């Protein structure tokens, strides 16, 4: 098959899959074999998202994404993208993830700029294979806390250590955050905040909370508990919450593993005490990043429908939406 026929190399932004040498060293191979054979699907979702970022490297600068994703996840996402391109699909696999990543990147920077203090904290709940502490310059004065299951954080730390020690990577790779602390905790339990504080999190310090790709894995009670704990912090100090929410249709698809949903997070969060809430959908001006040109793609079609509509009037398919939400609050705000 020629390069043109395989539909990949005809467009320079999509390159053939090139796996970095580091993936083939003994340590890294062993770690990824543990991930593939011993982690549950919830934990492996961390590698899937990293694979998405690695394959969308023409728009996302994440030098660790290939290493953290591993060969199996990279190949799976690569094949999906290849198939979409061969079929001239309107939406290429991973585009939601790419936009979501870029939206969180830009919102983290905006939130930190909105604080008058230079020093702040950024807490990533369900951090998975997120490498922002190594790739975002805006974190230079921030203490970053990554919360996830102990197995995930330990394997991640060892993979990053391997990259730091590798001669190929070490010139390029350095931490961009002021500090990084990994906190092993299950956010379904009621001791995660205590574990965060024992690790150095200061409740009185301005904080950006990042809940990216995590909240819908929780039950309704667990998700509300987490959101309330974060909302309560705004009575002490300026607090920003960044989170993505699925609507009900997204969680009720057959074989969905998602539980929590909110059709109206822009009503839910003010009811918990946040004063400013901004909701965006994929394709909106602040959630576009030049990747949503086709007016007929799924996301642009959804945006033109009222949010209360649950099934698409053209074909009766469920309106599956992902809401990107920024909410903030501070001690001196007027109570809604």
Ligand X SMILES: C[S@@+](CC[C@H](N)C(=O)[O-])C[C@H]1O[C@@H](n2cnc3c(N)ncnc32)[C@H](O)[C@@H]1O
Binding footprint of ligand X on the chain (CB under 6 A): 42-43, 45-46, 49, 126-130, 147-149, 152, 186-188, 212-214, 217
* CB nearer ligand X, residue 112 or residue 125: 125
* CB nearer ligand X, residue 127 or residue 268: 127
For the chain, helix (H) and strand (E) counts, in that order, are 13, 7
* CB nearer ligand X, residue 148 or residue 169: 148
To the nearest whole angstrom, how small is the minimum distance from the Cβ of residue 148 to ligand X? 4
Closest CA to 79 of 29, 8, 4: 8
Question: Could you give the CA distance from residue 291 to residue 91 in angstroms, rounded to a whole number?
Answer: 10
Q: Establish how many alpha carbons lie within 13 A of residue 267's alpha carbon, considering only the half-sphere containing its beta carbon.
A: 4
Strand locations in 126-238, DSSP E? 142-148, 179-184, 207-211
Question: Could you give the CA distance from residue 311 to residue 249 in angstroms, rounded to a whole number?
Answer: 8
The DSSP element (H or E) to which 280 belongs, if any, is strand 276-281
Using an 8 Å Cβ cutoff, are 234 and 270 in contact?
Answer: no
To the nearest whole angstrom, how small is the minimum distance from the Cβ of residue 184 to ligand X? 9
* CB nearer ligand X, residue 91 or residue 186: 186
Length of the chain: 336
To the nearest whole angstrom, how small is the minimum distance from the Cβ of residue 200 to ligand X? 18
Token pair listed for 306: 């009222």
To the nearest whole angstrom, how small is the minimum distance from the Cβ of residue 124 to ligand X? 6
To the nearest whole angstrom, how small is the minimum distance from the Cβ of residue 9 to ligand X? 28
To the nearest whole angstrom, how small is the minimum distance from the Cβ of residue 263 to ligand X? 21
* CB nearer ligand X, residue 152 or residue 240: 152
To the nearest whole angstrom, how small is the minimum distance from the Cβ of residue 31 to ligand X? 15
Question: Could you give the CA distance from residue 186 to residue 141 in angstroms, rounded to a whole number?
Answer: 27
Cα 112 from chain centroid (whole Å): 18
Closest CA to 230 of 107, 92, 328, 110: 328
* CB nearer ligand X, residue 213 or residue 283: 213
φ and ψ of 26, to 5 deg: -60, -45
Closest CA to 328 of 96, 146, 135, 120: 120
To the nearest whole angstrom, how small is the minimum distance from the Cβ of residue 194 to ligand X? 14
To the nearest whole angstrom, how small is the minimum distance from the Cβ of residue 186 to ligand X? 4
Question: 267-285 burial by CB neighbour count: b if 16+ within 10 A, else e?
Answer: ebbbebbbbebebbbbbbe
Question: How much helix, strand and coil, in percent to the nearest 5, is found in the chain?
Answer: 40, 15, 45
């Amino acid at each position: 098959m020629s390069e043109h026929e395989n539909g990949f190399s005809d467009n320079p932004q999509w390159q053939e899959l090139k796996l970095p040498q580091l993936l083939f060293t003994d340590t890294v191979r062993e770690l990824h074999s543990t991930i593939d054979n011993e982690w549950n699907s919830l934990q492996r979702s961390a590698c899937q998202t990293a694979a998405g970022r690695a394959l969308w490297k023409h728009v996302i600068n994440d030098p660790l994404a290939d290493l953290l994703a591993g060969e199996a996840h990279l190949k799976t996402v690569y094949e999906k993208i290849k198939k979409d391109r061969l079929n001239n699909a309107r939406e290429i696999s991973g585009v939601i993830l790419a936009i979501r990543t870029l939206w969180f990147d830009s919102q983290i920077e905006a939130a930190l700029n909105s604080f008058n203090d230079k020093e702040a904290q950024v807490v990533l709940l369900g951090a998975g294979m997120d490498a922002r502490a190594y790739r975002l310059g805006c974190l230079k004065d921030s203490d970053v806390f990554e919360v996830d299951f102990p197995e995930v954080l330990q394997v991640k730390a060892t993979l990053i250590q391997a990259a730091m020690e590798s001669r190929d990577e070490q010139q390029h790779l350095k931490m961009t955050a002021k500090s990084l602390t990994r906190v092993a905790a299950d956010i379904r339990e009621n001791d995660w905040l205590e574990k965060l504080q024992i690790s150095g999190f200061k409740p009185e310090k301005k904080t950006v909370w990042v809940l990216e790709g995590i909240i819908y894995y929780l039950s309704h009670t667990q998700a509300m508990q987490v959101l309330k704990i974060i909302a309560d912090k705004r009575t002490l100090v300026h607090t920003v919450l960044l989170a993505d929410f699925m609507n009900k249709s997204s969680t009720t698809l057959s074989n969905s593993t998602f539980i929590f949903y909110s059709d109206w997070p822009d009503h839910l969060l003010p009811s918990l005490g946040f004063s400013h809430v901004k909701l965006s959908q994929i394709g909106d001006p602040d959630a576009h990043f030049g990747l949503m040109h086709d007016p007929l793609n799924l996301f642009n079609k959804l945006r033109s429908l009222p949010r209360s509509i649950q099934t698409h009037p053209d074909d009766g398919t469920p309106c599956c939406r992902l809401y990107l939400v920024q909410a903030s609050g501070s001690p001196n705000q007027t109570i809604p």
